[in-house]
Amino acid sequence: MSEDSLTPVEALRAKQVEEVNALATLVDQREEARAAFNERESSDNKPSDEERSAFAAAEEAFNAEFDRREKSIEKYDRRVAEAEIVERRRADAARASAGTVSVTSEPLTYRRDNASQFSYFRDLAARHNSSFAAQTADASGAIERLERHAREMREEMPKRERERERRANVEVDRAEREITRSLGRPRGLSESPFETRVNPNRTDGQGGYFVPPLWLIDDYIPYLRAGRVAADLCRRVPLPPGTDSINIPKLATGTATAVQTADNAAVQSTDFTDTSVSAGVHTIAGQQDVAIQLIEQSPGQIVDQVVVQDLLADYNMKLDAQVIAGTGSSGQALGLLPVSNYTGANTITWTTATPTAVSFNQAVGAAVSKTSYTRYDLTNLQVLMHPRRWFWFATATDGITGASPTNGRPLVNTAETGYNLAAIENDPAPFQGLVGRFPFGPNAYIDANMPAVATAGGAVSGGTNDLALAAKWDDLWLFEGEMRTRVLPEILSGTLQIRFQVFNYFAFLVRYGQSIAVIQGTGLAAPTGLDTSVVY
């Protein structure tokens, strides 16, 4: 195909491929030169000083050229994404001018601004339940709206799925580049980590009646809602449709260097070994049986905005609980707790019969310290704890009786100018999420899904202690799909009810166990104040 016959997107992609192939050739050639040089270093025909200098200069030139080409590839990534958007909009405009439905040119049927007028779920009930439809004055309008919604979703959902898959691969590749850049060879994945789903019982929908209004889809996911604090701290990656498993490569053992014992002595040579980190795709689902009388006699938005939003709120809570303490069995993901779930995870055991806020501050510092010399990177390290632990900590004093007030000065302040500062409070403190910051770096988050029944051994049931969790959340990856809905009118027709279901797919993956540090032990027993009758 000649360049003149290529579309703008195809031309950019062709140049992008050329750049990637050129970079691969550059790397391969340099690897060959390195192998030849190292072979000579281990032989009797060792390189001269001039050859060593030339090799070092070639390495510098390679690094500079590698960086230049990588930046060029990143520019093409951006240009291709921009060109794809333009191409899609042109196609949408062409379809609109031909008389077909286009999401970008016409307002959607079901929107937030008309939610009080048109109920998606009420229309579904009218479409799939003849007795209800017979009692509904607007039955024909409901069917027309659903038909239009189906056409809109057949246009919109494939676009979203393509964009979701593109963003997922970009996010995973970006994460891989961030991790491998520290190894001196910033390269991304050579193939997609997403395995295609083959089980016909788990096929994603492709538009139509049973895709909920986009305003409901978009409303549940972007915000830090109560009940999913830990989930939103993770690196968020869209889950592409048709995905059953995710596999990310990982170095099991690394290369090595060593001091050369003498001139002409052998150079350290250690081959790396690799493995992979895998995560299966899991399902969270819920349903609600609704009386036809409620749908008919209540305002149109009652099901959409009350029942469904409540199901979505519970979904968020259950997803968060999976990230924190999923068991890894019976369809669950493998969560962060107990600490034994992940090899290399750090443990701080705080054992004291008389815990103080000062010692808790030191325990958090110890967790951060352990992560710093096992993971070697504290970027986006934050501390998560149960609300009772933070508010005990936030109301503690230094115990200096000569100070004002006489029972001690507060250790957590709303300004950095406070005395004996152990943490800075986020004012006003919310019920969930970000509440403060420790002076030595990490932010403090509270999450009521954190266990308050843990044992000293880190198990998340059977004890009376809570747990605190310091983690580098960039290494904890949460993949989420698009929320789905179903309506089942026949199963409960004998009692004049309709069953509504919501469900979604997710996967949770921990890149490195060393990114997790759990604070546990008797020091985290249910806290009390100076007056021991006060229990948090």
What local confidence, expressed as pLDDT, does residue 300 receive? 53
Task: Report the chain's mean pLDDT, rounded to a whole number.
Answer: 78
Across 73-77, 167-171, 234-238, 250-254, the highest mean pLDDT is recorded for: 234-238
Residue 465 burial (10 A CB sphere; 0-12, 13-18, 19+) = buried
Per DSSP (E only), the strands in 394-524 are 412-413, 423-425, 433-437, 443-446, 468-472, 476-480, 484-488, 497-510, 516-520
Band (82; pLDDT cuts 50, 70, 90)? confident
426 vs 446, more confident: 446
Res. 224: pLDDT tops 70: no
Alpha helix ranges (H) inside 333-447? 357-372, 387-394
Half-sphere exposure of 190 (CA within 13 A, CB side): 4
| Cα 18 to Cα 72: distance, rounded to the nearest angstrom | 11
176 vs 301, more confident: 176
Taking a C-beta distance cutoff of 8 angstroms, is the pair 213, 111 a contact?
A: yes
User: What are the pLDDT digits (tens) for 384-422?
Assistant: 999 999 999 988 887 665 555 555 778 888 766 666 778
Residue 374 burial (10 A CB sphere; 0-12, 13-18, 19+) = middle
Taking a C-beta distance cutoff of 8 angstroms, is the pair 378, 372 a contact?
A: yes
| Cα 368 to Cα 442: distance, rounded to the nearest angstrom | 8
229 vs 168, more confident: 229
**Range of weakest confidence among 130-134, 206-210, 446-450, 481-485:** 206-210
Res. 245: pLDDT tops 90: no
Taking a C-beta distance cutoff of 8 angstroms, is the pair 514, 344 a contact?
A: yes
What tokens does 286 get?
A: 């819920």
> What is the mean predicted confidence (pLDDT) over 423-434?
76
Residue 203 to residues 283, 315, 378, Cα–Cα distance (Å): 12, 20, 39
Band (194; pLDDT cuts 50, 70, 90)? low
Band (444; pLDDT cuts 50, 70, 90)? very high
User: What are the pLDDT digits (tens) for 507-524?
Assistant: 999 999 999 999 999 899
| Cα 172 to Cα 243: distance, rounded to the nearest angstrom | 14
Res. 324: pLDDT tops 80: yes
Q: 58: helix, coil or strand?
A: helix
User: What are the pLDDT digits (tens) for 263-303?
Assistant: 888 899 888 887 888 889 999 999 888 887 777 666 555 56
Give CA torsion, residues 15, 17, 20, 22, to 10 deg. -70
Alpha helix ranges (H) inside 380-442? 387-394
Nearest to residue 274, comparing CAs of 173, 190, 195?
A: 190
| Cα 423 to Cα 407: distance, rounded to the nearest angstrom | 19
> What is the mean predicted confidence (pLDDT) over 50-73?
86
Nearest to residue 492, comparing CAs of 311, 298, 291, 303?
A: 291
User: What are the pLDDT digits (tens) for 110-160?
Assistant: 776 776 677 777 777 676 555 555 555 566 677 788 888 877 777 776 776
What local confidence, expressed as pLDDT, does residue 179 receive? 61
What tokens does 391 get?
A: 């508010």
Instruction: Specify the residue for token string 């193939």.
Output: 191
Residue 389 to residues 187, 435, 524, Cα–Cα distance (Å): 42, 12, 8
What local confidence, expressed as pLDDT, does residue 188 receive? 47
Question: The whole model's pTM is what?
Answer: 0.66
What local confidence, expressed as pLDDT, does residue 114 receive? 74
Strand partners, 291: 497
Strand order in the sheet with 194-196: 194-196, 243-253, 273-280
Q: How many CB atoms lie within 10 A of CB 185?
A: 10
Phi, psi values for residue 236, rounded to 5°: -90, 125
Taking a C-beta distance cutoff of 8 angstroms, is the pair 379, 472 a contact?
A: yes
User: What are the pLDDT digits (tens) for 33-61?
Assistant: 888 888 888 888 888 888 888 888 888 88
| Cα 76 to Cα 170: distance, rounded to the nearest angstrom | 13
